[in-house]
Structure 1
Amino acid sequence: MTGMFYGLGVGPGPAGLLPVASLDILRRVDHIFAPRSRVSETSVALEALRSLDFPRQRVREVEFLMDGDDRRIGQHYSALAREIAALGRQGQSVAYLTIGDAMTYSTLGYLVAALKREAPELPRRVLPGITSYATAAAMTGFALGEGKERVLILPCPDDLSTLTADIEHNDVVVLMKVGRRLNGVLDLLQNMNILEHCALAHRLGLDGEVVLPSLNVRPEAGRLGYLSVLLIRKHPPRRFS
């Protein structure tokens, strides 16, 4: 017998932002793998589900690896894929959780690729989730694209001159994975005189949530760069009379 693998995007945050199909899968699979950073006490993906009812005794937290070493990352997800494949060959189903959309800057992509190599016979289904930037745009009233505006989605570059060029060549920039670079990014936006057209969302739906529809009053960076998304607009949004 062959089981089934499901990749599920959850959250962001415990506000019920989970597709009905994903909730149905959570309630009936045999195993739920919840990734957790080695520096975190809890799985953020599980935090995003804390208000929902599903069999938590089936949850197993697993470490996720994103240390920049491609060889180590490959070995890590190959080992995890072999473990999931062994459960599948016993006829058991496995759901793997990831924050936001399942295939947008997600570690799930590494696992799906590893499953294709290690267990091509295992049926797989990936369900989309809701991105942090779509949630942030909805909460702040930030238009992600008007008319034929160019929208760029990217992880924050280390070289902020690259970000300057990205902003200059696009109308809207969605900036993810900001982390410790936030202060420098705020300096850049201030120098470009566009802070008031930008928005920031931090730890959406989680403890310590911060949602800023405008950065006209510059926030203190602190740890706001972690689990944050910046919505950057080069020009003010269009106004219709």
Structure 2
Amino acid sequence: MSAPGHFVGVGVGPGPAGLIPVAALAALHSADLIYLPRARGSETSVARQCLTGLAIPEAKFREIEFQMDPDRSVLSAHYGDLADAVAAELRQGRNVAYLTIGDAMTYSTYGYLLAALRDRLPELHHTTFPGVTSFAATASALSWPLGEGKERILILPCPDDMAALRADIETHDIVILMKIGARLPAVLQLLNALDIARHCAFARRIGLPGEVLCNDVSHLDADASGYLATMLIRRTAREKRHV
């Protein structure tokens, strides 16, 4: 019986191809199978686009439909099924990689899969490579510093309740808003009501077709999509710290 394979989690992108640690790229080249999430209704996997030009054989890729149903029982079943498939490959001695967009441990579906795998394979041999978070990519693309001096930063998925978001903004210097989706118009309305929209930045699909980069959201189209988007909210104007 062959020794179990090695499982690796790799965050790629977000943005132009090539945003991946050298060690993670080496692990992908040595993997026998690479699972890539693809959003339901999309023709291509964004994660695969982030690997363009890196000379990884197409035969290694195995696309899976990305599932983020609000029903937790549906989510559990989905990642349970995926874990069963990955575990079967690992038991055959194959090395398996799973790609996710951004950092694998920051609001990532990779965490669901890893937990399910560890339940099925207590002896699981695995490595998780850190990646570039969407907010780090947004800050770099827009030259928008994330935290200076003793500024307090809050990272959160966008709430449905704008009163709750308002309270978060009023008690932090910077709020990093993820998973915005259809709430974007309400968020923009709130930022304009607080008269801080000009201090805030927004990015969507960095480095991909349909890219949006905006360092003053008072000019942002409220009908723009909030999918694959990140908002950087600053409560007050940036302090001039240089002479």
TM-score computed with the length of structure 1 as normaliser: 0.96
Q: Distance in 1 between matches of 2:24 and 2:111?
A: 18
Name the SS for the 1:166 alignment partner. Answer: helix
Structure 1 portions without partners, runs of 5+: none
For residue 22 of structure 1, report the CA deviation from its aligned partner: 1.1
Match of 1:128 in 2: 130
Name the SS for the 1:52 alignment partner. Answer: coil
Q: Distance in 1 between matches of 2:180 and 2:21?
A: 27
For residue 50 of structure 1, report the CA deviation from its aligned partner: 1.7
1:226 is aligned with what amino acid? Y
| 2:15 and 2:137 in contact (8 A); partners too | no
Question: Are 1:225 and 2:226 an aligned pair?
Answer: yes
TM-score computed with the length of structure 2 as normaliser: 0.96
My pick for the range that moved more, 13-22 or 167-176, is 13-22
Q: Distance in 2 between matches of 1:145 and 1:55?
A: 40
Name the SS for the 2:217 alignment partner. Answer: coil
Match of 1:235 in 2: 236
Q: Counterparts of 1:184-199 in structure 2 under 5 Å?
A: 184-199=186-201
Number of aligned residue pairs: give it: 240
For residue 81 of structure 1, report the CA deviation from its aligned partner: 1.0
For residue 30 of structure 1, report the CA deviation from its aligned partner: 0.1
Name the SS for the 2:16 alignment partner. Answer: coil
1:178 is aligned with what amino acid? I
Q: Counterparts of 1:1-241 in structure 2 under 5 Å?
A: 1-216=3-218, 218-239=219-240, 240-241=242-243
For residue 221 of structure 1, report the CA deviation from its aligned partner: 2.4
Q: Distance in 2 between matches of 1:139 and 1:213?
A: 10
RMSD of aligned alpha carbons: 1.1
| 2:8 and 2:98 in contact (8 A); partners too | yes
For residue 108 of structure 1, report the CA deviation from its aligned partner: 0.3
My pick for the range that moved more, 18-27 or 168-177, is 18-27
Structure 2 portions without partners, runs of 5+: none
Show CA shifts across 1:63-93 (max 9, x none).
2211111111111111111111111111100
For residue 28 of structure 1, report the CA deviation from its aligned partner: 1.4
Q: Distance in 2 between matches of 1:24 and 1:115?
A: 23
Show CA shifts across 1:18-38 (max 9, x none).
111111111110000001122
| 1:81 and 1:119 in contact (8 A); partners too | no
| 2:17 and 2:52 in contact (8 A); partners too | no
For residue 223 of structure 1, report the CA deviation from its aligned partner: 3.4
| 2:17 and 2:49 in contact (8 A); partners too | no
The 1:68/1:53 distance shift into structure 2, 3 A limit, reads same
